[in-house]
Amino acid sequence: MITRRSFTTSFLAGAAAMVVTSTTSAKTQSANQDGKPSLADDPAFPTRYRTVDIDGASIFYREAGTPGAPVVLLLPGWPSSSAMFRDLIRELSANYHVFAPDYPGFGNSDIPDRSHAPYTFDALGEAIGKFVDKVGINQYVMYATDFGGLVGYRVMLKTPQRMKALVAQNNPLFLGASPWFGPLVPYWKDGTTESREKVRQHYLTLDVIRDLYLVGVRDTSLIDPEQWQLDYASLQRPGAADISLDLLYDIRTNGPALKSAQDYLRAQKPPTLVVSGKNDILFPAESQLRYREVVPNAETHLTDSGHCALADKSGEIARRMHDFLGRVL
């Protein structure tokens, strides 16, 4: 009997290659809820797959849209990559210039050796800040989910006034106490090899990654299983698992960064849209509503989905973004 845990690393690595090939070449038609094709189907707005050198590492990114249009910077979460934005990129590209980078050690980007390049949120923020400069982005709308907020807030704080609007999707602004983080607490407290190994055995599994996509979703038949299989297969690359363990450990240091982000957003009050899955096992609805404590006029739309809301609600999220950005930019 084949179980979820019986997938082998070699099978998933092969599956990942097939997924990358199929997803980068497929042009799946998108449609609005009324069944009408969206502008994203226009072949004039293809997604391009590029790399740029950042401190000697090749950083992969997806780019679509028209140069000169307002820029939307898409920052992914853990353990995913820019692949999570495939559908959203197509939906936005007719009106915006969209960039979606893979962090060092994630997706199709290089994996610099940990002994020379420590993997912390400060380091990822520095890398994405350099990416923004290297590809010539002057101002941007930031779309951040999960790790994307912890990275993006650092970019925002280093170059104030460049962020014209914020779109938060299942993205923390305050430290939370979800049971999902429970197994991390001993690791955060002692940082021992034993605690690290327990975290590896719990979090770096196909079941945990699959649950990020499925828990809280009403109709799981809408979720393409290749998404979590690709994320899991990416963790099997040499060095990638230890990078994730480093960053999961570094979560404990983010209190000051989150406080600085709250202070900045409270003072500047940038246009803010929250489009989150309300059934998230990490950052549930009440945590997403807290954006209004900092930005009282934040527009909040909690969709009936889970942590990876784009996996089944990308069309709805894209429509919310088009409406919001059409009014605030």
Residue with tokens 């800040």: 129
pLDDT at 11: 37
Residue 296 · residue 267 · CB < 8 Å: no
What pLDDT is attached to residue 117? 83
Q: What contacts 315, CB < 8 A, 6 or more positions away?
A: 30, 31, 32, 33, 38, 87, 91
- Confidence (pLDDT) at 219: 97
In the chain, the percentage of residues whose pLDDT exceeds 70 is: 87
Q: What is the widest separation between alpha-carbon atoms in the chain?
A: 58
Query: Which tens digit of pLDDT belongs to each residue from 269-291?
Result: 999 999 999 999 999 999 999 99
Q: Is the pLDDT of residue 213 over 80?
A: yes
Q: What pLDDT is stored for residue 59 in this prediction?
A: 98
* Predicted TM-score (pTM) of this structure: 0.88
Complete domains list, the chain, with CATH: 34-328 (3.40.50.1820)
pLDDT digits (tens, 9 = 90+) for 29-60: 344 444 344 554 566 689 999 999 999 999 99
pLDDT at 183 over 70: yes
SS (H, E, C) 219-232: CHHHCCCHHHHHHH
Residues marked active site are found at 307
Structure confidence by residue, pLDDT tens digits, 87-129: 999 999 999 999 999 999 999 999 999 988 899 999 999 999 9
pLDDT at 5 over 70: no
CA distance linking residue 65 with residue 48, whole number of Å = 9
Contact criterion met (CB below 8 Å) for 211 and 281: yes
- As to burial, measured by CB atoms within 10 angstroms (0-12 exposed, 13-18 middle, 19+ buried), residue 322 is middle
Whether the CB-CB separation of 71 and 97 falls below 8 Å is answered with yes
- In a 13 Å sphere around the CA of 176, the CA atoms on its Cβ side amount to 20
